[in-house]
Amino acid sequence: MALGIGISGPRGGGGGSTPTLTIGVFSDAGHTTPITNGEGGDTIYILATGITATNYVFWAYNPTTEESVVIDDEGTGAVSWVLPYITKGDWEIRCDAKNGTSDLVWGYADFEVTMDADVGTFLAATGITDETIISALRVLVNSFKTDLIWNKMDAIYPFVGGTADTTKYNLKDSADTDAAFRLTQFGGWVYSANGVLPNGTNAYVDTHLSPSAVQTFADSHFSLYSRTLGTSTTLYGGSGIRGVNGNPASSITMRQSNNGRFAAMWNEGTGGLAIATAETDARGFYLMNRTATNILTFYKNSVQIAQNTDTNSATLPTDSYFLSVLNQAGSPFSTTYDNKELAFSTIGSGLSNAEQINLYNAIQVFQTTLGRNV
C-alpha cells in the first residue's frame, strides 16, 4: 500500500505534470512515524506538503463503497483526526489545496481502516454482518480498552444477532468451547434483536465459568442487563450460583415474586448479602461488585442501591454461573427460574467506582446504538 501519493493539476486528475502535493498520514503530531492503517477511535495526523495554499480541504473516500467523510474543510496543511467507526477496508485520505475558491492541486494517501482483532474474531465466530451491530461492537470494545476494563473481564455476553448460535459467544474469547465460556443453552428461549428471553420455567444457560477457577475472593464482579419490568415467574428468580442453604453463592436477583432484589457473593451469610429496597421496575443494568473481603456493593445503572461492609470468610463456589436460574450442585434450582430478557452480561474482576460507571456508560451507548436501551 502506497503512502503519500500526489496528483497535480485541477481536482479530478488533470494537468499531467509531476505530482507536487504529497499527503502523509502519521501516528504522531510531529509527523515522524508514517502509518498506512488504523482502527476506529485512533487519532491520526495528516500532513499536506509540496505547495503553499490559502486553504486545505481534507476528506476520506472509499472507492469501493463510494462513502465520503469530511475531515476538515477549512484546515491548514496539517490536521489531526479521530478516526470514526467507518466501513472496514481501503480508503483514500484526500486533500484539495486551494487559493481562495480556486483548486490548485489535489492529492491522496492510501489508508486502510482495520478491525480490532477481538471484534474481528467475534464476527468470524458468529457470522454477523449487520453494520449497525458491527459499529456498536467496535465502539464498545474500544471504550472497554480505552477505559482499561477490557482486561478485567473474563466473560462478556452482548447477546447480538438474534439467534441461538450468535448469542452464545463470549466476546472476550470467541472460541466455541466450554473453556472459552461459550454459553450452553437449555429450555425455551426467544431470540431477537433485543437479546435473549427465557420462558421463566425451564430456560437457562450454563456459562461454564466457575468463580473458583478464574475469580478472586476480594476482587470480583457479575452483571446483568435486563429489559423486563416485572417480577419473576417463580418464587425467587435469579442468575448465578447458590449452594445448599446459600453457601457458597454468587448471584443477582433483580426482582423476585415479592419485589425483592439483592446480590450474594460468596455466601448468603455474614458479609455475603447486599439487600436493596423493593424493586418496582427490573429494567436496567445490575452489577454486584466485591473490592475487598468486607466490601460488597450492589448497583443499578451505576448508582449504588445496597452495600455490605461485614467481613466475608466464605469459599469461592466451584459450580459455574447459570443465567436465568441459580446453579445448585450442577442443576437448576427449580424455584429460581427467571423471566428477564437479557441484553448483556459480564463476569470478571472487581471494578473501582469510576470503572463501574465507565462500564455502564459503554454498555448503555451500545444498547442505544442497537435501539434496545432501557
Asked whether residue 309 is domain-assigned, the answer is: yes
Choose the weakest-confidence range: 25-29, 104-108, 174-178, 262-266.
104-108
**178 and 91 in a common domain:** no
Q: What is the tens place of the pLDDT at every residue in 111-140?
A: 999 999 999 999 999 999 999 999 999 999
Task: State the burial class of residue 16 (Cβ atoms within 10 Å of its Cβ: 0-12, 13-18, 19+).
Answer: exposed
245 vs 281, residue with greater confidence: 281
Answer yes or no: do 147 and 161 share one domain: yes
In a domain, 374, yes or no: no
Percent of the chain predicted with pLDDT > 70: 95
Evaluated on CA atoms 317, 320, 321, 327, the torsion sign reads negative
Mean pLDDT of 316-322: 97
Number of structural domains the chain divides into: 2
What does the pLDDT read at residue 15? Answer: 40
Report how far residue 342's alpha carbon sits from residue 196's, in angstroms, rounded to the nearest whole number: 5
Indicate the residue among 114, 146, 167 that finishes a domain: 114
Do both 167 and 276 map to the same domain?
yes
Whether residues 133 and 261 share a domain: the answer is yes
pLDDT of residue 123: 96
Of 69, 98, 114, the one marking the end of a domain is 114
151-207 pLDDT, tens digit each = 999 999 999 999 999 999 999 999 999 999 999 999 999 999 999 999 999 999 999
Same structural domain for residues 92 and 170? no
Q: Residue 11: inside a domain, yes or no?
A: yes
Identify the pLDDT of residue 284.
98
Q: Which of 103-112, 185-194, 247-256 has the lowest mean pLDDT?
A: 103-112
Around Cβ 105, how many Cβ atoms within 10 Å? 25
Q: How much of the chain exceeds pLDDT 90, in percent?
A: 86
Extract the C-alpha cell encoding 27: 501516528
Question: If DSSP codes are grouped into helix, strand and coil, which group holds residue 356?
Answer: helix
Q: Are residues 248 and 142 in the same domain?
A: yes
> Can you tell me the distance from the alpha carbon of 228 to that of 236, in angstroms, rounded to the nearest whole number?
15
Residue 185 within any structural domain of the chain: yes
Mean pLDDT of 58-68: 95
* pLDDT at residue number 3: 39
Q: How far is CA 222 from CA 90, 198, 356, in A?
A: 40, 19, 11
The answer to whether residue 260 scores a pLDDT higher than 60 is yes
- Last residue within a domain, chosen from 91, 114, 137: 114
In this predicted structure, the answer to whether residue 1 has a pLDDT above a threshold of 60 is: no
Confidence band of 353 (pLDDT split at 50, 70, 90): very high
Indicate if 134 and 232 belong to the same structural domain. Answer: yes
Q: Which CATH number covers residue 123?
A: 2.60.120.200
Q: Are residues 305 and 180 in the same domain?
A: yes
Q: Which of 225, 224, 288, 236 is nearest to 260 (CA)?
A: 236
3-state helix, strand, coil in the chain (%, to 5): 15, 40, 45
Residue 10 has pLDDT above 70, yes or no: no
Q: Which pLDDT does position 5 carry in this prediction?
A: 39
Mean pLDDT of the chain: 93
| Any domain includes 262 | yes
Question: Cα separation of 211 and 232, whole Å?
Answer: 25
Q: Is 80 exceeded by the pLDDT of residue 355? A: yes
Residues 90 and 134 in one domain: no
What pLDDT, on the 0 to 100 scale, is given for residue 373?
98
Q: What is the DSSP string of 56-73?
A: EEEEEE-TTT--EEEEEE
Is the separation of the CB atoms in 28 and 43 below 8 Å? Answer: no
The tens digit of pLDDT for each residue in 274-286 reads: 999 999 999 999 9
30 and 140 belong to one structural domain? no
Domain residues for the domain of 43 are: 5-114
Q: Are residues 182 and 304 in the same domain?
A: yes
| 270 is a domain residue | yes
Per-residue pLDDT at 13: 41
Is 157 a member of any domain? Answer: yes
Q: What is residue 293's predicted lDDT score, i.e. its pLDDT?
A: 97
Cell numbers for 180: 472459552
Q: 59 and 131, same structural domain?
A: no
| Cα gap 107→11, rounded to integer Å | 8
pLDDT of residue 223: 98
Q: What is the CATH number of the domain that holds 100?
A: 2.20.130.20
> Looking at the domain assignment, is residue 162 inside a domain?
yes
Task: Tell me the average pLDDT across 350-360.
Answer: 98
